[in-house]
Chains A and B, each alone.
Chain A
Amino acid sequence: MRRWITTLVLFTVSCILFLEMLFRFVIPACELPAWMQLEGGFMVFDRGYQEQGYHATGRFPSVSSMHRWRINNDGWNSTFRYRRVAGRDRPLIALLGDSGVEGLWSDVEEHIDAWIHQELKGTFDVYAFGRHAQPLVEIMMLMERVDSIYKPDIFVVFLGHDALLSSLTRDAYGEYHYLFPAPLLGSFLVVAPDVREPSGLARAAMRSALVRFLAFQINLEIFPLTNVTLEYPDLSGWLRDSWMERLLPLAGRHMLARMSSTLGDRRLLIVGDSWIRRYSIYGEPSNAPSTETVDDGLALLDSLCSRKSTPGIDFLDLTDAYRAAWDSTGTCFESGTSRHLNGYGNSVAAHAIVRRLQHSGALRMAAASWRDRNPHPEQRLGR
């Protein structure tokens, strides 16, 4: 029996090694960067884990569906190294948003921030702060944090999901801030997430290509530490769906007003990427996953942005830009079967954003403001 068990162990070890090689070199497993939570509850990529790799989805990712990512000095997926305000020599555009900005669905060199930087010929720094499914309230809080660290001259918020609705309920993993309606105060309170320590065991396990393949590509829950669901109290649990119709405009107004107060005399452009409408451009609306709340939420934000209570905030619906691009090139915007934008889609979005910033005068004003505050940047930087 001892011999049999020895053979079995040998076989098991050799089989694991074989599969590790297979998923590392032949059928690549995806290498998702690990997240960690900062004080205050904000999630950034963990630089201590792995600084670059590629993200692939599905059982058989072809080379074309693998997308490079690179974690920069401050824990964001970007080709740019982020500098604090004292170290910068040009004005800054801060791009905040959901998975569209997080950018695991396109190569890091073809992200929206990279395209904006290119369109503006390097006259502006463009820093991206994206995390998938971030509700608007999380973006609002992140905006304040980004402002305190980097002092951007323009903010752009890119939304492709129902960020407004999701602000009112705690997400499944309790990773984000959420908005708690407090009727007695006649306002809303922001509830912070609990800070969680990154799991060293999970991080070690994720170094194996076999484990990554099993965990991410076939969703085998053999390493529960990679996907912890904890019991978080959801204070909004008592909210009824029927109340949402009245509550959402109030919540939206509340958040936009607070964002507006963060801005001061700077500008914020909220960009709506309604992928349902984007799919309809191809004439095959039935292919679009139906999530009407995304459309409704973005439309509501659009209407709220045009009010006087939210000065400095502008709204851009990307549908027209996509339609024009499709008419002229006939090239699709999505990354494989994902509804996320590919590199080309990102470039179309970036072009539309830059145009809107130019037309609204935001770029000119930001550049002027920067010059006023930094009359001789070369001298200040000691060049």
Chain B
Amino acid sequence: MLFNSLAFAVFLPVVFAVYWSLQKTPLRYQNLFLLLASYVFYGWWDVRFLLLLFVSSLCDYLVGMFMTGTASHRRKRSLLIVSLAVNLALLGFFKYCNFFIESASTLLRDLGLGHGTRTLRIILPVGISFYTFQTLSYTIDVYRGKVRPTRDFISFFSFVSFFPQLVAGPVERAKNLLPQFYVRRTFDPRRASDGMRQMLWGLIKKMVVADNVGTLVDYVFANPGDMGWQCLLIGGALFSVQIYCDFSGYTDIAIGSARLFGFDLMTNFAYPYFSRNLAEFWSRWNISISSWFREYVYIPLGGSRVGPVRHAVNLVLTFTISGLWHGAYWTFLLWGFLHGLFYVLTMVTGHTRRYEGPVAPGRVLPSLREALCILLTLIPVVLTAVIFRTRTMRDAAAFMQGLLILRSGTWPGIGFFLQGLTFTGVLFLVEWLQRRRAHGLEISRLPRALRWAVYYALITVLILFGSFTEHAFIYFQF
């Protein structure tokens, strides 16, 4: 079920009404209802997907249980390996199987050792990368002793399948989300109102900006070899806007709808395009996944507590794996690898200063230095986003070549892009003004009349400019 669908518009109020009507019943009924609702939400795509979700949840629930019952470190380690094997096998089969078959086949053909390939017809279950990582984090944290394993079957299954964040995150850690299922939630009108505001902002980002900009991006990326450099430049930049608005829009709706049910999910995007260096960018972009890789890949590899060369290798390796997490394409791998390289480069040049708080504190405009830093950070982000968007290395090369040699080619004129650029400009202007707040529509301090006027205006904008053709969120494919 897509957040921007009619089905969800009916589903959410119904679940909300039933959920809060169960407020005075034992907590497990409320949790059980959430679990059922989440399975309906996920099964809406394909009922068969529910089996995978169930298997993944059951595996980690049992592993957690067995870990409780044993003091043996060796046995705990074996149990962890079982969990890793099951979850990664599911992920590997459904997401990477054909990629490895095709890659191996190409390699063998190039070596003259074989020809032809037969791939499997596998459907990629929506959100599998997200919930497998979420359950894995639970098992690893239990193994590390950071989280107490739960015996509460309903709470655990609800934690894994919690519908607002099930298919595209934020990838929650058990220590943050799971305890929220143990305590009775009370309805907080302020939190619910703010949740609705955040959902509205998410819908604006997705349906007005991302989907409209997406049609322009599709035009440019459909045939990058024929496009003029101006087209490629704007197309590349607009894709960065699209992916941000698409993914952070989803996150806003997820966090907002979770708040309606009395849950607080972690922040996933903190105005990443206003970052002053790459380190800051990665602490603001897709925070739940970035921190997952830092916690469960980068640090176990040795992190920064090793020699400089090994540290650099750790960084590049972590970024490359995170690229592969996005999908079974060489371009994703290259995207991750390049981000790793750029990160190492900024580290070598000493531009990894940890910034506290938002840019330009206490000022409306950034200083010249801050503006330059933001611009310089955006360049690698936009360039690598181009690689992220293209599906073949050949397309990526054609795109980059066109940009570098300022190739003349198709150029439909600036008017073609004007609407997309206007949406982008207005969105980033609002986000800039709101950069100290949790989301772009955090306006609880305004008088009610003014707030309602803003809501009317935004709903009007949504109806007038929004795309109502139910475009799936980009990150669902990951």
Residue ranges of A at the interface with B (Cβ–Cβ < 8 Å): 1, 3-4, 11, 14-15, 18-19, 22, 27, 59-60, 213-214, 218-222
Contact = CB atoms under 8 A, between A and B. Distances in A.
A60 B459 CA distance: 16
A18 B456 contact: yes
Contact of A1 (B189, B463, B464, B468): B189
Contacts of B66: none
A19 B460 contact: yes
Contacts of B330: none
A15 B456 contact: yes
Nearest to A27: B464
A56 to B, nearest CB: 14
Given A19-B459, A60-B464, 8 more contacts: A4-B192, A14-B452, A15-B455, A18-B456, A18-B460, A218-B468, A220-B468, A222-B6
A1 B455 CA distance: 21
Nearest to B193: A4
B468 A11 contact: no
Nearest to B196: A8
A222 B463 CA distance: 13
Interface in B433-478: 452, 455-456, 459-460, 463-466, 468
B interface, size bucket: 10 to 19
A13 B192 CA distance: 19
A60 B465 CA distance: 10
Contacts of B465: 59
A218 B463 contact: yes
B428 interface: no
A3 B463 contact: no
B455 A59 contact: no
A219 B193 contact: no
A156 to B, nearest CB: 39
8 contacts: A1-B20, A1-B187, A3-B189, A14-B452, A15-B456, A27-B464, A59-B465, A213-B463
Contacts of A3: 189
The 8 closest A-B pairs by CB, nearest first: A4-B189, A1-B187, A220-B468, A218-B468, A18-B456, A59-B464, A15-B456, A15-B459
Contacts of B464: 27, 59-60
A3 B187 CA distance: 12
A23 B395 CA distance: 45
Nearest to B469: A219
B176 to A, nearest CB: 25
B471 to A, nearest CB: 14
Contacts of A15: 455-456, 459
B2 to A, nearest CB: 14
Contacts of A213: 463
Interface of B: 6, 20, 187, 189, 192-193, 452, 455-456, 459-460, 463-466, 468
Contacts of A219: 468
B469 to A, nearest CB: 8
Contacts of B459: 15, 19
A53 to B, nearest CB: 20
A19 B187 CA distance: 30
Contacts of A19: 459-460, 463
Contacts of B192: 4
A11 B6 contact: no
A11 B193 CA distance: 12
Nearest to A22: B460
A66 to B, nearest CB: 17
Given A1-B187, A4-B192, A220-B468, A214 B456 contact: no
A284 to B, nearest CB: 15
A328 B158 CA distance: 74
Contacts of A27: 464
B448 to A, nearest CB: 9
B443 to A, nearest CB: 14
A213 B462 CA distance: 13
A25 to B, nearest CB: 14
A1 B185 CA distance: 13
Nearest to A219: B468
Contacts of A220: 6, 468
B11 to A, nearest CB: 14
Contacts of B455: 11, 15
A244 to B, nearest CB: 32
A4 B259 CA distance: 14
Nearest to A23: B463
A11 B453 CA distance: 11
A358 B31 CA distance: 81
A214 B463 contact: yes
Contacts of A222: 6
Nearest to B459: A15
A1 B466 CA distance: 31
Contacts of A22: 460
B463 to A, nearest CB: 7
Contacts of B187: 1, 4
Contacts of A1: 20, 187, 189
Contacts of A59: 464-465
Contacts of A18: 456, 460
Nearest to A221: B6
Contacts of B456: 15, 18
A14 B452 CA distance: 10
A102 B466 CA distance: 31
Contacts of B463: 19, 213-214, 218
Contacts of A221: 6
Nearest to B186: A1
Nearest to B448: A7
B52 to A, nearest CB: 31
A220 B6 CA distance: 9
A22 B456 CA distance: 11
Nearest to B192: A4
B18 to A, nearest CB: 14
A3 B448 CA distance: 15
Nearest to A222: B6
Contacts of B466: 218
A285 B409 CA distance: 22
B17 to A, nearest CB: 9
A218 B465 CA distance: 9
Nearest to A214: B463
A60 B452 CA distance: 24
A18 B458 CA distance: 12
B302 to A, nearest CB: 51
A1 B192 CA distance: 10
A220 B466 CA distance: 11
A19 B456 CA distance: 8
Contacts of A4: 187, 189, 192-193
A330 to B, nearest CB: 24
Nearest to B187: A1
Nearest to A220: B468
